[in-house]
Amino acid sequence: MSPEKKEIIQGWYQKAEEDLLAAEVVIEASPLLYDVSAFHSQQAAEKFIKGFLAFNEIMPPKVHNIRELIDIATGFDGSFETIREAESLSKYAVLSRYPDDFDIDTKEEALKILSVAKSVRDFVKNKIGF
């Protein structure tokens, strides 16, 4: 792998790890921030998949739809079908940023969303050895 390619992929993963950290911190900070945690969980999953696409020399599309990203990734590796559960995170990309769309009511719900994002991280990182 060229140093340039490695740098691009590490950039995606660094930002994704920052989103996971933000999601973890705000879950503990306040129940009022569970929606914010869901947003950062979604962002992390999205960025890990986009890092995989970059690894495969595909310019990641500027979308927040995880289903679309998994569809593209599946073209390179059919085992991405096993993380289809992550599609449920797409709704937190935008809707959680506006009032009255929906709320994450419990810490358990926020932790489940975070867990899905972490499973995407683990899956993708194992795929390319990062």
Condensed to tens digits (0 to 9), the pLDDT of residues 55-95 reads 999 989 999 999 999 999 999 899 999 999 999 999 998 76
What region, left, alpha or beta, does residue 65 occupy, with left being phi > 0 and alpha being psi -120 to 50 degrees?
beta
CATH number for the domain whose boundaries are 3-128:
1.20.120.330
- pLDDT per residue as tens digits for the range 8-51: 889 999 999 999 999 999 999 988 889 999 999 999 999 999 99
Domain boundaries, the chain: 3-128
Q: Are 50 and 60 in contact, with CB atoms under 8 Å apart?
A: yes
C-alpha span between 121 and 46 (Å, rounded): 10
Residue 69: Cβ within 10 Å count? 26
Q: What is the pLDDT of residue 8?
A: 87
